[in-house]
């Protein structure tokens, strides 16, 4: 007669622990569809050509901006711009709003600029002085 070996394996997690684990997974926040930014009115402008030139020269918000696209909304046409350091993680955005009444406004998100090269240069200069 052949002797067969059998073994039992005991699961480490009891049913109660599994339920607790599932509650932890469910409590994680879901990603929002939008970026959830709050925009502040910066200024009004007279002509689109003038404001475009000021954006290119870095006079708006003392920053360089990258055009991201145009979106037609019920409030008017929105010309979207991202901070030029958005590839490095800066999340500041700006848009130009031109309403059907021909009112032209500039809005900038109220979060702080981060991950800019100037900040990196300043940090490296202070560490080299130490």
Q: By the 8 A CB rule, do 61 and 51 touch?
A: no
Q: Does residue 111 have a pLDDT over 90?
A: no
| Mean pLDDT value of segment 9-31 | 57
- The domains of the chain are located at 39-121
The string of pLDDT tens digits covering residues 78-109 is 999 998 888 888 888 999 999 988 899 999 98
Q: What is the largest CA-CA distance in the chain?
A: 99
Residue 37 in tokens: 């930014």
Among the CATH numbers 2.60.120, 2.60.460, 1.10.3470, 2.20.25, which is that of 39-121?
A: 2.20.25
Mean pLDDT of 100-127: 70
Neighbour tally for 43: CB within 10 Å: 13
pLDDT at 18: 56
pLDDT at residue 65 in the model: 92
pLDDT digits (tens, 9 = 90+) for 30-78: 555 556 788 889 999 999 899 999 998 888 878 889 999 999 999 899 9
Measured CA to CA, the distance from residue 33 to residue 2 in angstroms comes to 64
C-alpha dihedral over 43, 52, 70, 105, to 10 degrees? Answer: 10
- Could you tell me if 86 and 114 are in contact, meaning their C-beta atoms sit under 8 angstroms apart? no
DSSP letter string, 63-103: S-EEEEEEEEETTEEEEEEEETTGGGT---EEEEEE-TT--
């Amino acid at each position: 007669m052949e002797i067969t070996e059998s073994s039992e394996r005991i699961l480490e997690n009891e049913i109660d622990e599994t339920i607790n684990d599932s509650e932890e997974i469910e409590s994680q926040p879901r990603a929002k569809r939008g970026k959830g930014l709050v925009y502040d009115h910066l200024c009004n402008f007279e002509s689109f050509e003038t404001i475009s030139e000021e954006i290119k020269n870095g006079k708006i918000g003392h920053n360089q901006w990258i055009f991201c696209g145009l979106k037609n909304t019920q409030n008017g046409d929105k010309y979207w711009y991202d901070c030029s350091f958005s590839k490095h993680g800066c999340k500041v955005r700006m848009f130009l709003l031109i309403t059907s009444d021909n009112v032209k406004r500039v809005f900038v998100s109220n979060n702080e600029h981060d991950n800019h090269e100037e900040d990196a240069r300043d940090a490296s200069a202070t560490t080299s002085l130490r």
